[in-house]
Amino acid sequence: MSYRIQQSLSTSQINKSLPTTKESLVGIVISVVLNDSKLSDGVNVDGVEPTRTELVGSCKIRPITDAITPHEELRYYKPYDSNQIDLPIVGEMVQLVGIGGTTYYKRLPNPNINLGNAVENRDAKTYGDDDSSKPTDYRTTSTTGISNTSVDSQNRQTKLGEYFTPIQINPLLLYEGDKLIQSRFGQSIRFSGYNNPENEYSPTTILRNRQNNTQVNFGALIEEDINRDGSVIVLSSNKYKMNFQPGLVDDGGSSDFKTTPIKAKLPKEYVGFDQMLLNSERIIISSKSQEMLFFSKGNYGFISDGKFTIDNGQGGADLDFGDDVNITTDRNNGNFTILTGTGNIFLNTTQKKERIVRGDTLVKLLTELIDAINQQVYNTPAGPSAVGPTNRSTFNDIKSKLKDALSTLNYTE
How does the average pLDDT of the chain come out, rounded? 82
Instruction: Give the per-residue pLDDT at 7.
Output: 33
pLDDT at 39: 59
pLDDT category of residue 52 using cuts at 50, 70 and 90: low
- Alpha-carbon distance of 197 to 398, in angstroms, equals 76
Q: List phi, psi (to 5°) of 294.
A: -125, 125
What backbone torsions phi and psi does residue 47 show, to the nearest 5 degrees? 80, 0
Average pLDDT for 383-395: 81
For residues 319 and 138, the model is more confident at: 319
φ and ψ of 17, to 5 deg: -100, 0
Q: Whose CA is closest to 60, among 80, 37, 44?
A: 44
Residue ranges of domains in the chain: 11-155, 170-313, 328-413
Comparing 23-32, 175-184, 236-245, 277-286, which segment has the lowest mean pLDDT?
Answer: 23-32
Measured between alpha carbons, how far is residue 349 from residues 131, 142, 315, 345, 357 in Å?
95, 96, 21, 10, 16
Average pLDDT over residues 153-167: 77
**What integer pLDDT is reported at residue 355 of this predicted model?**
80
pLDDT confidence of residue 51: 57
Rounded Cα–Cα distance for residues 280 and 231 (Å): 4
| 188-192: strand order across its sheet | 179-182, 188-192, 204-208, 232-236, 275-279
Mean pLDDT of 175-200: 95
Between 23 and 251, residue with greater pLDDT: 251
Q: What pLDDT score was predicted for residue 340?
A: 85
Give the largest Cα separation in the chain, rounded.
147
pLDDT top residue among 93 and 136: 93
Q: Based on the number of CB atoms within 10 Å of its own CB, is 30 exposed (0-12), middle (13-18) or buried (19 or more)?
A: buried
Between CA 172 and CA 207 the distance in angstroms is 12
Least confident of 60-74, 172-186, 318-332: 318-332
Q: Confidence class of residue 198 from pLDDT cuts 50, 70 and 90?
A: very high
Higher pLDDT, 129 or 236: 236
Mean pLDDT in residue range 344-373: 85
pLDDT tens digits along 100-115: 889 999 999 998 999 9
Residue 298 has pLDDT above 80, yes or no: yes
Judged by phi (left if over 0) then psi (alpha if -120 to 50, else beta), residue 272 lies in left
Given a cut of 70, is residue 179 above it in pLDDT? yes
CA 222 – CA 103 distance, rounded (Å): 36
Higher pLDDT, 57 or 407: 57
Amino acid letter, residue 321: F
What kind and span of H or E run contains 106? strand 102-107
Q: What is the pTM of this model?
A: 0.76
Contacts of 44 (CB under 8 A, 6+ apart): 50, 75, 76
Q: Give residue 316's Cα distance to chain centre.
A: 31
Residue 334, pLDDT above cutoff 50: yes
